Amino acid sequence: MRSELTESTLAVKDACFREVVAAGEPFMKEIKKGQMLRILDLEGNQAVDTLFYSARDPQERYDANNTIHEQGNIYLTTGTILRSNESRPMLTIIADTCGRHDTLGGACSAESNTVRYALEKRHMHSCRDSFLMALSEWDNGMDKRDLSSNINFFMNVPVTPEGGLTFEDGISEAGRYVEMRADMDVIVLISNCPQLNNPCNAYNPTPVEVLVWES
């Protein structure tokens, strides 16, 4: 782990928005420039698959590769600037009591479940199903083409110096959170991961809470 844990200075009572997102549910909301967005792991070890789009032009979106090659490190934590495909800052992580977050592990899907676990796992619920439902309801023309490499908040996907990559037990606990300041007007798209076949959720998907503060 490279970071020290950084606590927020914001009080929960001052939040202008609070919503609990159950496991297996999507969440989509516009966050204005300057607002602070917190994702709170209510019960611990929960993976929160997350994408960001520019609210002005959703063709500009979170880009995992730009984010990691600009900071020269594959893990996201306090100080990380979440960059777009145009390499512009979208949000900055300003507090993190978990320590590091993944952006290489992607989102689970019916099809990837057939490959990773068994052909019969196709019919289990998945993040990409949640993403597609949320985009369909948002109804601004976004679709599967807009599902690019996401962030997995609280998820632990270590890469070794030899190039190994594994999904490991989470390093988060109940009450840990990550907080970001929006550097442009963004749309946040979350799938609170329903995966039951690997330790990313400790085999027990649980709710998270989304909180927003005014600038």
Partner 1 sequence: MNDTAAATFDTSQVLWEERVPGGAHWSGLLRRGNTLRVTDSEGGANVSMLFYNYEDKLERYNMADTLKGQHTAYLTKGNVCYSDMGRVLCSISEDTCGWHDTIGGVSNAGLVRRKYGQACYQEYRNEFYRNGFDSLVNELGKFGLGKRDLVANLNLFSKVSVDNDGNMQFREGNSRAGDLIDLRFEMNTLVVLSTCQHPLDKAPKYAPMAIDLTAWRSGTAGPDDPCRNSCAENQRAFTNTERMFA
Binding site for partner 1 (CB under 8 A): 1-2, 59-61, 63-66, 68-69, 72-75, 85-87, 100, 104-107, 109, 111-112, 114-116, 118-119, 128, 144-149, 157, 159-161, 163-167
For residue 82, the minimal CB distance to partner 1 (Å) is: 14
Contact 206, 20 (CB under 8 A): no
For residue 70, the minimal CB distance to partner 1 (Å) is: 8
Contacts of 75 by beta carbon, 8 Å cutoff, 6+ apart:
2, 3, 100, 101, 102
Q: Which is nearer to partner 1, 2 or 123 (CB)?
A: 2
Distance in angstroms (rounded) separating the CA atoms of residues 200 and 112: 15
Q: Which is nearer to partner 1, 137 or 143 (CB)?
A: 143
Q: Helix, strand or coil for residue 193?
A: coil
Its sign, for the CA torsion 66, 54, 215, 13, is negative
Give all strands of the β-sheet with 26-31 in edge-to-edge order.
26-31, 186-192, 48-54, 151-153
Q: Which is nearer to partner 1, 157 or 186 (CB)?
A: 157
- Tokens 């490499």 belong to 149
For residue 184, the minimal CB distance to partner 1 (Å) is: 16
For residue 120, the minimal CB distance to partner 1 (Å) is: 11
Q: Which is nearer to partner 1, 197 or 209 (CB)?
A: 197
